[in-house]
Amino acid sequence: MAAANTFHVCIVGLGSMGMGAAKSCIRAGLQTYGIDINPAARADLKDAGAVDVGTDGAAFADKLDAVLLLVVNAAQCKSVLFGDDGLATKLRPGTAVMVSATISADEAKSIEAGLTEHGLAMLDAPVSGGAVKAAAGEMTVMASGAAETFAKLRPVLDAVAGKVYEIGAEVGLGATVKIIHQLLAGVHIAAGAEAMALAARAGIPLDLMYDVVTNAAGNSWMFENRMKHVVDGDYSPKSAVDIFVKDLGLVTETGRTLKFPLPLASTAYTMFANASNAGYGKEDDSAVIKTFAGITLPGGSAK
Active site residues: 178
The rounded distance, in Å, linking the Cα atoms of 48 and 171 is 33
Half-sphere exposure of 200 (CA within 13 A, CB side): 23
The pairing of beta strand 127-128 with beta strand 66-69:
unpaired
